[in-house]
Amino acid sequence: MTANTSHTIPSYLNPAQLGPWGDYLQQVDRVTPYLGSLSRWVETLKRPKRALIVDVPIELDNGTMAHFEGYRVQHNTSRGPGKGGVRFHSEVTLSEVMALSAWMSVKNAAVNLPYGGAKGGIRVDPQTLSRGELERLTRRYTSEIGVIIGPTKDIPAPDVNTNEQIMAWMMDTYSMNEGATSTGVITGKPIALGGSLGRREATGRGVFTVGCEAAKRMALPIEGVRIAVQGFGNVGGVAAQLFVKAGGRLVAVQDHAASLYKDAGIDASALWEHVQLHGSIKGYADAESVTADAFWDTPCDVMIPAALEQQITSANAHRIQARLVIEGANGPTTPEADDILRERNILVVPDVIANAGGVTVSYFEWVQDFSSFFWSEDDINARLVRLMTEAFDAVWQMAQEHKVSLRTATFIIACKRILHARELRGLYP
Ligand code: NAD
């Protein structure tokens, strides 16, 4: 009888279509040699603790019934409750949500938040739904995943195509099912419902903070630095505005509908206003419209992918002109592309540290909700910057010590913390 009963790929995933989960598994393989005796626990990281798939039926405005597929995956809870966003997107898959939940485990451990990792999603294009349909969808999904979430079990938050209003509906649905208002079950809520000041801008602010730290170490001045941003939403839009405020020049922006270029610098605040009105950068007049493909050749110093996974691949990594890539999105760079960028001496600040600002202020929100005592925005921003700067410094030192990429360095710090907790706890979780 063979003793090896471990299967890395769960039977519910098609091994030929692993998507971002395959990228994540490769990242874990890369870090394993650095884990010492903790590597005996590494298989824990290669499968989610729990993956829930739910049917979300709703009545549409025209009286017909529609069924949507929803997910909530808890990757790891060794260091605390699951924590991670909820994504509404027509391409959401189980393997994507699994990867996103695993990156949350790594991210939360990298900044030393007392959380495990989780993520959720619904396979839907929310732009095709009315407000009433969106509310019914959100509430039914929340009820369905209500069996595994909770303020001390798993705390959802916003992600792509979800916002404060959706978080308010989620909090309300969970609370009313429980019979008492429970603000701590969701973060990213409106301020009027126990949300935190600074949460909306927190991920972009974190991207800016670690981006400046990396630039400082590369002797790259922010004044006049040319920035190209993919994704001009909550993360990319805020980060771009902060870089421009600090003296940077926004030369290129791409979103789902258009790509813009202007060497003299795009007015980031005016573009932001345009997006709030029209839902996209498309139609913004004060920049040249270019093809989506041309975006990757943009002459720039810093590139910020802040849209979706697997955007920088072996097909375009050799074309990127930037010296610094700051990953605002989760999983935007494939492992093959990572190698190409490293060979080309382009520094990559990985998602698991670069976009940790959002969950950090979500943690502050959760703490404030429990104590029902709310902090000032200055206090929150100062704590965020301090935590992110310290975490980045530790990652930088780890990378120097082992001569590894910042991604592997972040994974070394985070995976050691997760597996150490796992070892100390023993049998569970
Ligand atoms: P968002 O919905 O506010 O914005 C997404 C942006 O990406 C939009 O500008 C959209 O047009 C663009 N986009 C979508 N598909 C695209 C495509 N195919 N090509 C180019 N652009 C495309 O979402 P967000 O909250 O800014 O999230 C963006 C990324 O950041 C995601 O990977 C998300 O997981 C990650 N992230 C978000 C947070 C947060 O707090 N919101 C925290 C950490 C990480």
pTM, full prediction = 0.95
CB neighbour class for 39 (10 Å; exposed up to 12, middle 13-18, buried from 19) = middle
Q: Is the pLDDT of residue 90 over 60?
A: yes
User: Quick one: pLDDT band at residue 128, thresholds 50, 70, 90?
Assistant: very high
Residues of the chain within CATH 3.40.50.720 domain(s) are 200-349
Separation of CA 285 and ligand 1 centre (Å): 23
Ligand 1 atom 32, closest CA: 329
Regarding the beta carbon of 230 and ligand 1, being less than 6 Å apart is answered yes
Q: What pLDDT does 3 receive?
A: 39
Q: Mutate which of 23, 207, 230, 235 to test ligand 1's pocket (most atoms within 8 Å of Cβ)?
A: 235
- For the structural domain made of 200-349, what CATH number should be given? 3.40.50.720
Regarding the beta carbon of 233 and ligand 1, being less than 6 Å apart is answered yes
Using alpha carbons only, give the angle 284, 124, 116 rounded to the nearest 5 degrees. 100
Residue, of 4 and 42, whose pLDDT is higher: 42
Regarding the beta carbon of 231 and ligand 1, being less than 6 Å apart is answered yes
Regarding the beta carbon of 209 and ligand 1, being less than 6 Å apart is answered no
Beta carbons of 202 and 357 less than 8 angstroms apart:
yes
Q: Is the pLDDT of residue 5 over 80?
A: no
Tokens of 249: 């020049």
Tokens of 351: 């998602």
Q: What count of Cα atoms within 13 Å lies in the side-chain half-sphere of residue 337?
A: 21
Q: What pLDDT does 7 receive?
A: 56
Regarding the beta carbon of 365 and ligand 1, being less than 6 Å apart is answered no
Q: Mutate which of 23, 166, 234 to test ligand 1's pocket (most atoms within 8 Å of Cβ)?
A: 234
What is the CB neighbour count within 10 angstroms for residue 399? 18
Annotated catalytic residue, options 46, 49, 119, 262: 119
Residues of the chain within CATH 3.40.50.10860 domain(s) are 21-182
CATH class of this structure's domain 21-182: alpha beta
Determine whether 119 is an active site residue.
yes
Span 141-157, average pLDDT: 98
- The CA R_g of the chain, rounded to the nearest whole Å, is 21
Residues with Cβ within 8 Å of residue 415, at least 6 apart in sequence: 28, 31, 35, 38, 42, 45, 106, 109
Separation of CA 357 and ligand 1 centre (Å): 14
CA of 389: how far to CAs of 67, 71, 214, 392, in Å? 44, 33, 10, 5
User: Quick one: pLDDT band at residue 307, thresholds 50, 70, 90?
Assistant: very high
User: Quick one: pLDDT band at residue 10, thresholds 50, 70, 90?
Assistant: confident
Q: Is the pLDDT of residue 4 over 60?
A: no
